[in-house]
Amino acid sequence: MTASRLAAWLLVLAGCATLVACPIRRPAVPAEYFSFRADLETAIADTTVSVMSGETLMQQRLYGRLPQLSAIVSTDSLIATLEADTVIERLAGPVEATLARALGADGVSGGVRKAFKKRDGQRLAVDGIIVGLGKALRRLGFEPAPDGADD
What is the percentage of the chain residues whose pLDDT exceeds 90?
70
Produce one character per residue of 85-119: b if its CB has 16 or more CB atoms within 10 Å, e if not. Answer: beebeebbebbbebbeebeeeeebeeebeebbeee
Tell me the Cα Rg of the chain: 22
- How high is the pLDDT of residue 151? 44
Q: Which of 29-33, 45-49, 136-140 has the lowest mean pLDDT?
A: 29-33
3-state secondary structure of 140: coil
Query: Residue 31 pLDDT more than 60?
Result: yes
- How high is the pLDDT of residue 130? 97
Q: Count CA atoms closer than 13 A to 7's CA, side-chain side.
A: 3
In tens, the pLDDT along 60-97 reads 999 999 999 999 999 999 999 999 999 999 999 999 99
Domain map (residue ranges) of the chain: 32-139
Position 21 confidence tier, pLDDT thresholds 50, 70, 90:
low
Query: What is the average per-residue pLDDT within 103-127?
Result: 92
- How high is the pLDDT of residue 6? 53
The Cα 86–Cα 77 span in angstroms is 16
SS (H, E, C) 25-51: CCCCCCCHHHHHHHHHHHHHHHHHHHH
- How high is the pLDDT of residue 107? 85
Query: What is the average per-residue pLDDT within 123-145?
Result: 94
